C-alpha cells in the first residue's frame, strides 16, 4: 500500500510539473523572452567586441529607461482597454515646465512636483473625458496630443528651454537636477536605469499584488461584468490615465535632466508610438484585459536591443525605421491571430 501511495504521489507531482511547464511555455512572455535571447545571442556572435560589453549593455539600459517608465504606465491603460496618444506631448509639456520653473529660480523639489502635477492633471482630463465624457480615448488623447503640444509652444514661445547657470538656474540646483539624468549610482549604473527599475518594481506590485491591479484586469476583460460585480469602472480607468500622465511627466523631466535643453516643437515627438509598440510587443492586448509589467519590460528591451543592433550593424536609419515598423505590425498581428484562435 505504501508503494502504491508513493507511486500516486510521484505521478501527481509529475503531472503538476508538466502542467506548470505547459503554462510557462504557453505564456506570451516566454515567446518574447526567447525572441530577446535569440537577438542577443545573434548580436553577441556578430559583434562580439562591442555588443556584450558591460558598457554597451548599460548604455542600452539607459536608452530604454524612459521608454520603459512610460511603458509601465501604458500597460495599465491598455489592460483597461484604453489608449493614450498624448504621452509624447505630456512628456514635453511637463519637462519644459519644470525647466522653466528652474530658470525662474525655483528650488528643485517644488519644480519637480509642479512638473509631475501637470502630467497627472493631463492624465486626469484624458481619463475623465474618456469615461464620464463618453468620448473614445483614441479621440480624446489624439486631441490632447495637440492641446498639450500647443500649450508647451505657447508657454515657451517656441524657444528652447536650457538648464544652466547663465539662464538663471541656481548652481547647486542645476547640479542636483543634472544628477537625476546624468548621474551614475556607484559610478557605474545610470540613474535613469535606476528610476526605471524602481518604477517597474512598483508597477509590478501594483498590478499583480493589489486589488486595484485585479480590478484593472477585470475592467479590461469585461467592463459590463466588472460593473455588475461592484467595481467602479470609470475610476479604475481614470487612475490608469493618471498613472500614465505622471510617468510621462517623470520621463520628460529625466530627459531634460540628461540633455538640459529642449524645444516644445521637437521634444517627445512620436514617442507615443514607440511606447505603445513596446507594450504590444511585450504581450499586452489592444482589446484589453491582457498584459503584464514583465512583458512590457521584455518588449522595451527588444525595442532597445533591436535599435542598438541595427546601429552596430551599420543599417541605414531609414531601414531602421522600416524594420521597427514591421516588428510592430508583426506583434499586433500575432496578438490578433492568437486571440482569434482562442475564441474558436
In the prediction, which pLDDT does 286 show?
Answer: 84
Residue 65 exposure: Cα atoms within 13 Å on the Cβ side: 28
Instruction: Give 329-341 pLDDT, tens digit per residue.
Output: 776 676 666 656 6
In the prediction, which pLDDT does 34 show?
Answer: 86
Q: Give how far Cα 297 sits from Cα of 127, 196, 258, 294, Å.
A: 24, 10, 22, 5
Let me know if residue 14 belongs to a domain: no
Let me know if residue 6 belongs to a domain: no
Let me know if residue 215 belongs to a domain: yes
Residues near 257 by beta carbon (within 8 Å), at least 6 away in sequence: 163, 177, 178, 179, 180, 181, 182
Let me know if residue 97 belongs to a domain: yes
Coil, helix or strand for 244? Answer: helix
Coil, helix or strand for 189? Answer: strand
Number of domains within the chain: 1
In the prediction, which pLDDT does 246 show?
Answer: 98
Phi, psi of 282 (to 5 degrees): -75, 0
Q: Give how far Cα 102 sits from Cα of 27, 99, 115, 284, Å.
A: 46, 5, 11, 38
Let me know if residue 263 belongs to a domain: yes
Q: What is the mean pLDDT of the chain?
A: 88
Q: What is the CATH number of the domain that holds 68?
A: 1.10.3470
- Count how many residues are written for the chain: 344
Coil, helix or strand for 100? Answer: helix
Beta bridge partners of 161: 262
Q: Give how far Cα 135 sits from Cα of 68, 77, 129, 223, 298, Å.
A: 28, 15, 6, 16, 32
Q: How is residue 206 written as a grid cell?
A: 501594483
Let me know if residue 125 belongs to a domain: yes
- Element at 18 (helix H, strand E): helix 2-26
- Of the candidates 143, 136, 145, which has an alpha carbon nearest to the alpha carbon of residue 82? 136
Instruction: Give 111-168 pLDDT, tens digit per residue.
Output: 999 999 999 999 999 999 999 999 999 999 999 999 999 999 999 998 999 998 888 8
In the prediction, which pLDDT does 265 show?
Answer: 86
Let me know if residue 256 belongs to a domain: yes
The C-alpha cell 455588475 sits at 228
Asked if 78 contacts 288 with a C-beta cutoff of 8 angstroms, the reply is yes
Q: For residue 163, what is the DSSP state?
A: -
- Inform me whether the pLDDT recorded for 228 exceeds 70: yes
Let me know if residue 209 belongs to a domain: yes
The C-alpha cell 489608449 sits at 83
In the prediction, which pLDDT does 28 show?
Answer: 67
Coil, helix or strand for 39? Answer: helix
Q: Which domain holds residue 233?
A: 30-44+54-337
Amino acid at each position: 500500500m505504501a508503494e502504491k501511495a508513493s507511486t500516486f504521489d510521484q505521478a501527481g507531482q509529475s503531472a503538476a510539473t508538466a502542467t506548470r511547464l505547459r503554462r510557462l511555455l504557453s505564456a506570451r512572455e516566454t515567446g518574447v523572452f526567447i525572441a530577446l535571447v535569440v537577438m542577443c545571442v545573434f548580436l553577441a556572435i556578430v559583434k562580439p567586441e562591442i555588443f556584450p560589453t558591460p558598457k554597451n549593455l548599460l548604455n542600452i539600459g539607459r536608452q530604454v529607461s524612459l521608454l520603459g517608465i512610460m511603458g509601465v504606465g501604458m500597460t495599465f491603460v491598455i489592460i483597461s482597454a484604453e489608449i493614450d496618444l498624448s504621452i509624447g506631448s505630456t512628456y514635453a509639456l511637463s519637462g519644459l515646465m519644470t525647466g522653466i520653473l528652474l530658470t525662474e529660480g525655483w528650488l528643485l523639489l517644488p519644480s519637480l512636483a509642479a512638473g509631475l502635477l501637470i502630467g497627472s492633471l493631463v492624465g486626469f482630463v484624458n481619463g475623465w473625458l474618456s469615461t464620464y465624457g463618453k468620448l473614445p480615448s483614441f479621440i480624446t488623447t489624439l486631441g490632447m496630443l495637440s492641446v498639450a503640444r500647443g500649450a508647451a509652444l505657447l508657454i515657451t514661445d517656441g524657444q528652447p528651454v536650457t538648464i544652466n547657470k547663465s539662464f538663471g538656474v541656481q548652481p547647486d540646483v542645476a547640479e542636483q537636477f543634472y544628477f537625476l539624468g546624468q548621474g551614475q549610482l556607484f559610478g557605474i549604473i545610470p540613474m535613469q536605469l535606476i528610476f526605471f527599475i524602481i518604477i517597474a518594481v512598483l508597477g509590478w506590485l501594483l498590478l499583480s499584488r493589489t486589488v486595484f491591479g485585479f480590478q484593472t484586469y477585470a475592467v479590461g476583460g469585461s467592463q459590463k461584468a466588472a460593473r455588475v460585480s461592484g467595481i467602479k469602472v470609470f475610476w479604475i480607468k481614470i487612475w490608469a490615465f493618471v498613472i500614465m500622465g505622471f510617468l510621462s511627466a517623470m520621463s520628460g523631466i529625466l530627459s531634460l535632466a540628461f540633455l538640459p535643453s529642449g524645444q516644445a516643437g521637437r521634444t517627445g515627438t512620436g514617442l507615443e508610438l514607440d511606447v505603445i509598440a513596446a507594450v504590444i510587443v511585450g504581450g499586452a492586448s489592444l482589446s484589453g484585459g491582457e498584459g503584464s509589467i514583465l512583458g512590457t519590460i521584455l518588449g522595451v528591451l527588444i525595442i532597445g536591443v533591436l535599435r542598438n543592433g541595427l546601429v552596430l550593424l551599420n543599417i541605414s536609419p531609414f531601414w531602421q525605421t522600416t524594420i521597427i515598423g514591421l516588428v510592430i505590425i508583426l506583434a499586433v498581428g500575432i496578438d490578433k491571430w492568437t486571440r482569434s484562435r482562442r475564441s474558436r
